[in-house]
Amino acid sequence: MGLTKTEIFTDEQNQLATLLKAMAHPARIAILQRILISNTCICGDLVGELGLAQATISQHLKELKNAGIIQGTIEGVSVCYCINPKTWKLLETQLGAFLGEYKGETACC
């Protein structure tokens, strides 16, 4: 079918899955790293740095924006992107709780 049955899962599970999915692509990880490294907004520079076409990068940026992970502001001719602090904090919290739930050392398999 190709259609996820979201209705049988909790809102938290769906939300975390959506956020992870938005990041689950090397291009989008590269984009986020680029924004994180410069610690400011990134205006356009992305095209040319990654080896992808402009249309493709625009599409990846859109996905990150739709997931609420980044936000963009029009700055004259170009558009500036930066991390959305609120979502990033949510991500840290949710993922931290999720990953931290593993109490290791029980290795039964």
Partner DNA sequence: ATTTTATATTGCAATATTACGATGCATCTT
Partner DNA sequence: AAGATGCATCGTAATATTGCAATATAAAAT
37 binds a copy of itself (CB under 8 A): yes
Q: Using the rule CB under 8 A, which residue among 44, 68, 78, 88 binds a copy of itself?
A: 88
Least Cβ distance, residue 16 to a copy of itself (angstroms): 6
Least Cβ distance, residue 19 to a copy of itself (angstroms): 8
Report the C-alpha gap between 19 and 67 in whole angstroms.
Answer: 6
DSSP per position, 8-38: GS-HHHHHHHHHHHHH-SHHHHHHHHHHHHH
Q: Using the rule CB under 8 A, which residue among 2, 40, 76, 77 binds a copy of itself?
A: 40
Q: Using the rule CB under 8 A, which residue among 2, 3, 39, 55 binds a copy of itself?
A: 39
* Coil, helix or strand at residue 89: helix
